[in-house]
């Protein structure tokens, strides 16, 4: 039959689309046409595919070959189509039976000698193939660990074009992915290591329980970074579905760690303050790639030395913070990456940052400007601010510190309470609940909100700030095991967002 059909997957961000590749062989002088919006890398695959087929000892049809990628309007990029293109050509020249290609997704880049190389985005590609009703998939053998994370589709790993062809012709088996291991990642460091810092520990506990963002201010060496690293230990493990979503983002970024385990530990991402906009929110030409905010999806984005970050970078965080996703528009389309992370900002109180604040030599204006670099709109989204103090005695603080397990138990109980309350409305944490709902359906009795009214009247609090304080108050109530916050808890919530603390 001079016509054959194979399937592969085009990725647009983390969304995959199954692409049908039709090959027509014959009817003219030897020529190789590839139609259907291929990009430069895909156009080059013509030469790779030909060399790989010849060097695998197969016969390249010396006739006119037309390959059509459909849907033709979708921009297709990258080298992951090589295997499917080669199989379509060989199907059309009669080497492969069409029955072997039906319902099968083929992914992988071909080396000139016919070896099959791994490509980025195998995981989201397979997810899309499965959702499109594909029965089985052939992927590069080196991508099997990644492919193991997808169930509901039969995945086979081939090391070379020859192996893939033998498999598609029938009568040969290929390696299958091994069982998925969970929880292989090491446990994050323990909270018991942090000395003292009762306020900050409490803030971190509240943040973990309610999904709030937090700012830690204190001199160097007081444990800001230590505390932030221990934050992820307090968060609940990711569900299988969440972990898969995160793994898809990592796969697109080319950052899926080897080892084959689906990590259920929430991610901890700590970019340096010299990072570029593209590294932080995602970017790149053509189709944008995910940045730090998406790699921190469902985990913690830790920004150390927050005032040192460029103002435009910090303000770029505002939309992902509000919406839980980033949409990046580029010439070849708009992609959407998830970015529901918890922000932990850390800052020194001033540029000179002595161990004890009284030793500060900064002029007051410099001091004021330093934290002023964190813009108001950004800080409005940070529910919790905690001051950290120099450690005054090593002996005094030992033994008393709670470990991660103890705090995590309280956090999980509070999260469960919040989840039960919001379940019917579709939210999971207090931080996700819109302000109007807190002010109307779940309005607190008048005496409880008195501190907020006072703050609003005095101009110390914005309306959005009041909403945030309400959310923190609900989290405090969850942690305390009460069914709603009272005036005391609202006061406590306000303590953690007092600008003087920062």
Residue ranges that bind other proteins, judged by CB under 8 A: 28-30, 62-63
Q: Rounded to the nearest whole angstrom, what is the least distance from the CB of residue 25 to other proteins in the complex?
A: 13
Q: In the complex with other proteins, which residue's Cβ is closer, 60 or 389?
A: 60
Integer CA distances (angstroms), 379 to 72, 297, 461, in order? 46, 20, 12
> What is the C-alpha to C-alpha distance for residues 397 and 399, in angstroms, rounded to an integer?
7
Q: In the complex with other proteins, which residue's Cβ is closer, 62 or 406?
A: 62
Q: Rounded to the nearest whole angstrom, what is the least distance from the CB of residue 63 to other proteins in the complex?
A: 8
Q: In the complex with other proteins, which residue's Cβ is closer, 30 or 445?
A: 30
Q: Rounded to the nearest whole angstrom, what is the least distance from the CB of residue 52 to other proteins in the complex?
A: 17
Q: Rounded to the nearest whole angstrom, what is the least distance from the CB of residue 90 to other proteins in the complex?
A: 17
Burial (0-12, 13-18, 19+ Cβ within 10 Å), 423:
exposed
Integer CA distances (angstroms), 95 to 28, 136, 137, 277, in order? 20, 20, 19, 49
Q: In the complex with other proteins, which residue's Cβ is closer, 54 or 454?
A: 54
Nearest to 271 by CA among 343, 173, 211, 204: 343
- Which residues fall within 8 angstroms of residue 150, CB to CB, at 6 or more apart? 123, 126, 127, 130, 244
Q: In the complex with other proteins, which residue's Cβ is closer, 26 or 152?
A: 26
Q: In the complex with other proteins, which residue's Cβ is closer, 52 or 293?
A: 52
Q: In the complex with other proteins, which residue's Cβ is closer, 95 or 413?
A: 95
Integer CA distances (angstroms), 338 to 263, 298, 341, 375, 382, in order? 17, 9, 9, 24, 19
Q: Rounded to the nearest whole angstrom, what is the least distance from the CB of residue 37 to other proteins in the complex?
A: 24
Task: Centre a 10 Å sphere on the Cβ of residue 140 and count the other Cβ atoms it contains.
Answer: 25
Burial (0-12, 13-18, 19+ Cβ within 10 Å), 150:
buried
Helix (H) or strand (E) segment spanning residue 155? strand 154-158
């Amino acid at each position: 039959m001079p016509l054959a059909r194979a399937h592969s997957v085009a990725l647009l961000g983390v969304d995959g689309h199954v692409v049908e590749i039709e090959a027509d062989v014959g009817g003219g002088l030897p020529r190789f046409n590839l139609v259907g919006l291929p990009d430069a890398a895909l156009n080059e695959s013509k030469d790779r595919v030909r060399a790989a087929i010849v060097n695998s000892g197969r016969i390249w049809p010396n006739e006119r070959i037309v390959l059509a990628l459909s849907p033709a309007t979708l921009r297709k990029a990258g080298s992951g189509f090589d295997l499917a293109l080669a199989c379509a050509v060989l199907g059309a020249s009669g080497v492969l039976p069409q029955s072997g290609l039906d319902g099968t997704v083929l992914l992988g880049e071909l080396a000139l000698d016919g070896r099959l190389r791994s490509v980025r985005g195998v995981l989201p590609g397979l997810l899309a193939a499965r959702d499109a009703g594909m029965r089985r998939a052939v992927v590069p053998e080196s991508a099997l660990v990644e492919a193991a994370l997808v169930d509901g589709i039969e995945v086979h790993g081939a090391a070379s074009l020859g192996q893939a062809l033998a498999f598609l012709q029938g009568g040969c088996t290929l390696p299958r992915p091994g069982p998925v291991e969970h929880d292989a990642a090491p446990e994050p460091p323990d909270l018991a290591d942090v000395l003292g810092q009762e306020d900050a520990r409490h803030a971190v506990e509240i943040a973990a329980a309610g999904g709030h963002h937090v700012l830690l201010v204190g001199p160097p060496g007081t444990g800001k970074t230590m505390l932030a690293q221990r934050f992820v230990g307090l968060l609940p493990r990711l569900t299988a579905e969440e972990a898969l979503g995160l793994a898809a983002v990592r796969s697109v970024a080319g950052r899926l760690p080897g080892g084959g385990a689906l990590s259920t530990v929430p991610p901890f991402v700590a970019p340096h303050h010299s990072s570029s906009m593209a590294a932080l929110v995602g970017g790149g030409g053509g189709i944008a790639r995910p940045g730090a905010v998406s790699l921190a999806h469902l985990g913690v984005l830790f920004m150390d030395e927050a005032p040192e970050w460029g103002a435009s970078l910090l303000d770029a965080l505002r939309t992902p913070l509000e919406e839980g996703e980033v949409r990046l528009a580029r010439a070849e389309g708009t992609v959407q990456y998830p970015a529901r992370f918890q922000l932990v900002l850390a800052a020194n109180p001033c540029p000179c940052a002595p161990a004890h604040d009284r030793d500060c030599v900064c002029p007051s204006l410099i001091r004021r400007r330093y934290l002023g670099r964190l813009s108001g709109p950004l800080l409005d989204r940070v529910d919790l601010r905690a001051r950290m103090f120099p450690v005054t005695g090593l002996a005094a603080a030992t033994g008393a510190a709670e470990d991660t397990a103890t705090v995590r138990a309280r956090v999980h109980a509070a999260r469960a309470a919040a989840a039960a309350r919001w379940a019917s409305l579709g939210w999971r944490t207090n931080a996700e609940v819109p302000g109007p709902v807190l002010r109307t359906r779940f309005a607190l009795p008048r005496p409880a909100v008195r501190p907020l009214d006072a703050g609003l009247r005095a101009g110390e609090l914005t309306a959005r700030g009041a909403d945030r304080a309400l959310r923190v108050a609900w989290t405090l109530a969850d942690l305390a095991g009460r069914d709603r916050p009272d005036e005391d808890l609202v006061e406590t919530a306000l303590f953690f967002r007092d600008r003087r603390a920062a």
